[in-house]
Amino acid sequence: ATTTTAPESGTGVFSKTRARISARTLRTDRWWLPPLITVIGLGAFVVYATVRSFVRTAYWVPDYHYLTPFYSPCLSTSCVEGASHFGTPFGDLPMFIPLGFLVLPFLLGFRLTCYYYRKAYYRSVWFSPPACAVAEPHAKYTGETRLPLIIQNAHRYFFYAAVIISVINTYDAIGAFHGKSGGFGMGLGSLILTGNVILLWAYTLSCHSCRHIAGGRLKHFSAHPVRYWFWTQISKLNTRHMQLAWITLGTLVLTDFYVMLVASGTISDLRIID
């Protein structure tokens, strides 16, 4: 076909210099499958995380000191007794404010501005474009040069926040080695919380901004052996960033779900050392 339904001028796929092809794509394979799977996966996580963040039930196991990451740190007097490891500087919070209100926006910002997630949702949610060689529906393309997408450039700052949050989650995981009668104890929950925090660290440290902070803008690696070493290790992790992005969504849900089951009395924790 040689006719076009596109506007005469525009940017991106509709710009004057692009070939005029009326078909949205000439691809005949199932190019829509990866974006479809992505949007289902992201959507499922968002629904689960939103519901769990607001319900305010079954987020703390007093016997074993299991705290779900969605409520950590719990800094308000609305938190159940024992769940506030860092005190309660905030008073009672109305129901529409999640108890994890202080970190959830930063975690959301970290993931939303992540280079991998950007690829994922630009394709699957915004169709910009949905796949290689499939025209996007948008007539204009301004990239990440103006609001709101210019905020993507703040990713490095969300990374700093994510490091602090990972330290807090590590503290929670260590505290989860707690026996019923006080002292040391270990259960399946302690191992799940620990596994989750290790993978969260792997995701956080494999971040592209972290790699750049470690070794970016160095003219001579030989003059900076320590930074070079860190850069090399982070580079190895960085190749797995997409996998870690998905794995940690899974482990976050799994960890929260397990804590919920134990905290609500639906199942009892599998104790290894009581």
Instruction: Give the binding site for ligand FES (CB under 6 A).
Output: 114-116, 155, 159, 207-209, 241
With respect to ligand FES, which residue has the nearer C-beta, 114 or 262? 114
Least separation in angstroms between residue 238's CB and ligand FES is 8
The pair of three-digit structure tokens given for residue 110, joined into one six-digit string: 């970290």
Question: Over the range 162-180, which residues count as b (16 or more CB within 10 Å of their CB) and which as e?
Answer: beebbebbbbbbeebbbbe
Q: CB of 108: closest distance to ligand FES in angstroms? A: 12
Name which of 171 and 246 has its Cβ closer to ligand FES. 246
Nearer to ligand FES, 84 or 248 (CB): 248
In the 8-state DSSP scheme, what is residue 72?
-
CB 204 within 8 A of CB 163: yes
- Residue 269 CB, nearest distance to ligand FES (Å)? 32
d(CA 49, CA 204): 19
CB of 150 to ligand FES, least distance (A): 17
> Closest approach of Cβ 153 to ligand FES, in Å?
12
Helices 115-124 and 104-113 pack at an angle, to 10 degrees, of 70
State how beta strands 60-61 and 271-273 pair.
unpaired
Separation CA 71–CA 263 (nearest Å): 13
Tokens, residue 134 = 């499939």
Tokens of 174: 């260590």
Least distance between ligand FES and beta carbon 50 (Å): 21
From its phi and psi, is residue 39 left (phi > 0), alpha (psi between -120 and 50) or beta?
A: alpha
Selection from 99, 56, 53, 96 nearest residue 74 by Cα: 99
Nearer to ligand FES by Cβ, of 13 and 114: the residue is: 114
For ligand FES, give the closer residue by CB, 16 or 236: 236
Q: Could you tell me the smallest distance in angstroms from the CB atom of residue 116 to ligand FES?
A: 5
Q: Which is nearer to ligand FES, 108 or 133 (CB)?
A: 108
Q: Cα separation of 45 and 102, whole Å? A: 20
Tell how far CA 226 is from the center of its chain. Answer: 28
CA-nearest of 243, 218, 239 to 229 is 218
CB of 242 to ligand FES, least distance (A): 9
Quick one: 67 or 114, whose CB is closer to ligand FES? 114
Residue 31 or 115 with smaller CB distance to ligand FES: 115
